[in-house]
């Protein structure tokens, strides 16, 4: 039975099916990927950078088309979907223009013991990427762009619901002039993914997904002695101190929580507000939520679309129902919306008890949860009281104070006076159960590369 099925989440109607790969196709793909490494390296850094720049141009030229495709596949509102395509163009162009300097040979300064030395960045070989549905283009760009620049061929296994966008990305990379088979899309099964992880031709694995998937892939990669990067989601704290601009903070919280219908790993999932401004903030956030328009993601007027699937909506409904039964206050929303699609009303919840599921679990949908803190110290304690540690935000009009609080948050990323954003030139990744490793920036370029030392201990110094 075919599992790669595209449904329009705004209607629940099937759009397309994509046949799963056969074993012969998987075997052939592995052979071709390994063979493409030579051609990819023969392009040189300049050639690979030029191809990435052409990828960027195609994303910009086709941003409306690409946006409409994912709006229909996973329900992202069209304005946000077009932005995602354009943001990917920025990522590819950035690594085309700035990436070569990150991976250039690095001469050793005053090497210990004399002589000379250089540190060279080299590709490790074919990589397997296992990507999710919530940002179909962006997740791939973070992984594929930097690694193709280095010279690592890409094998890409996308989400079961993103068959169309997965295919068009392969088409773009090929049209941009990368060697044939340097980037290959695979409609692979879980068993085939396990096979590829253990295949000696695959040298590294990157997964963005659930904790369960991450644990399974990490175990397999460990058995195969392969490098693995994991981005496993989060429950980001959004800390609002008593000297914050309440209006600005509430607007940012609404953007950070309800963008992509709350289906973002770095979404502001735990909003922690100091007692002195708690009531004013909740009132302001409630006003922001009431202004949100929910509906057909292809209508530019709608800022919140459907959830990606019936199961995603059911999970949110169960979490909210559990919180309500345990005494939480559902101020707005808290219900599925009628119609054929997978819509859920934008929801605001306060007074959540510690035994409620949403107190500990990641909430992957349009549900804002606000917690009261007694002080700055209590806000930091609450922010760190989580199994996750991906990102976070701190709001204060005192920059020194905001930085001090940011330094104490147990996360991989923190934004000051802003909802979480995408820093294409900085490291993306978390701590604790949010995963291991980094993407983007010079740190991302280092994950799947060899830092080769070449030392000459004689008096001769090569030109």
Catalytic positions, please? 231, 265
> What is the distance between the alpha carbons of residues 252 and 436, in angstroms, rounded to a whole number?
28
Annotate 297-313 with DSSP letters as a single string.
Answer: TTSTT-SB---SSHHHH
- 195, 156 in Cβ contact below 8 A? no
- 116, 462 in Cβ contact below 8 A? yes
> What is the distance between the alpha carbons of residues 337 and 349, in angstroms, rounded to a whole number?
17
Q: Helix 190-198 and helix 23-42: axis angle, to 10°?
A: 50
Kindly state the tokens that stand for 23: 């074993």
DSSP-derived 3-state class of residue 136: coil
Kindly state the tokens that stand for 271: 């909003």
Residue with tokens 């793909």: 29
User: Between the CA of residue 39 and those of 47, 52, 155, 308, 446, what are the distances in Å?
Assistant: 11, 15, 16, 38, 22
Annotate 65-79 with DSSP letters as a single string.
Answer: HHHHHHHHHH---HH
Cα dihedral sign, 180-182-188-192: positive
- Residues counted in the chain: 463
Rg (CA), the chain: 23
Kindly state the tokens that stand for 371: 């917690």
> What is the distance between the alpha carbons of residues 193 and 419, in angstroms, rounded to a whole number?
35
DSSP-derived 3-state class of residue 100: helix
């Amino acid at each position: 039975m075919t599992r790669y099925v595209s449904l329009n989440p705004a209607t629940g109607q099937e759009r397309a099916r994509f046949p799963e790969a056969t074993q012969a196709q998987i075997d052939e793909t592995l052979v071709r990927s390994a063979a493409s490494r030579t051609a990819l390296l023969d392009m040189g850094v300049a050639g690979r950078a030029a191809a990435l720049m052409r990828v960027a141009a195609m994303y910009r030229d086709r941003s409306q088309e690409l946006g409409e495709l994912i709006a229909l596949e996973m329900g992202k509102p069209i304005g946000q979907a077009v932005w995602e395509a354009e943001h990917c163009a920025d990522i590819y162009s950035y690594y085309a223009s700035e990436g070569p300097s990150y991976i250039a040979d690095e001469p050793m300064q005053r090497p210990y013991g004399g002589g000379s030395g250089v540190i060279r960045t080299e590709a490790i070989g074919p990589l397997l990427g296992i990507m999710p549905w919530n940002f179909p283009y962006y997740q791939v760009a973070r992984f594929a762009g930097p690694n193709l620049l280095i010279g690592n061929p890409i094998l890409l296994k996308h989400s079961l619901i993103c068959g169309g966008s997965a295919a068009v990305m392969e088409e773009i990379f090929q049209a941009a002039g990368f060697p044939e088979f340097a980037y290959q899309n695979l409609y692979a099964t879980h068993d085939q993914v396990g096979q590829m992880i253990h295949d000696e031709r695959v040298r590294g694995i990157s997964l963005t997904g659930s904790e369960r998937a991450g644990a399974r892939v990490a175990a397999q990669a460990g058995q195969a002695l392969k490098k693995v990067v994991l981005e496993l989601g989060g429950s980001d704290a959004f800390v609002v101190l008593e000297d914050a601009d309440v209006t600005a903070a509430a607007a940012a919280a609404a953007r950070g929580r309800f963008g992509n219908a709350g289906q973002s790993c770095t979404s502001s999932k735990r909003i922690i507000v100091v007692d002195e401004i708690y009531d004013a903030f909740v009132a302001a956030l409630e006003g922001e939520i009431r202004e949100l328009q929910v509906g057909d993601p292809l209508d530019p007027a709608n800022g919140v679309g459907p959830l990606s699937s019936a199961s995603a909506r059911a999970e949110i409904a169960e979490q909210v129902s559990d919180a309500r039964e345990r005494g939480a206050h559902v101020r707005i929303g808290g219900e599925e919306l009628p119609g054929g699609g997978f819509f859920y009303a934008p929801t605001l919840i306060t007074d959540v008890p510690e035994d409620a599921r949403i107190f500990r679990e990641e909430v992957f949908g349009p549900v804002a949860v606000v917690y009261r803190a007694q002080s700055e110290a209590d806000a930091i304690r609450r922010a760190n009281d989580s199994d996750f540690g991906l990102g976070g935000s701190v709001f204060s009009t005192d920059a020194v104070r905001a930085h001090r609080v940011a330094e104490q948050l147990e996360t991989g990323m923190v934004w000051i006076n802003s909802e979480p954003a995408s820093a294409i030139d900085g490291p993306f990744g978390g701590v604790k159960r949010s995963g291991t490793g980094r993407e983007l920036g010079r740190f991302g370029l280092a994950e799947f590369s060899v830092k080769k030392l070449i030392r000459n201990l004689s008096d001769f110094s090569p030109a």
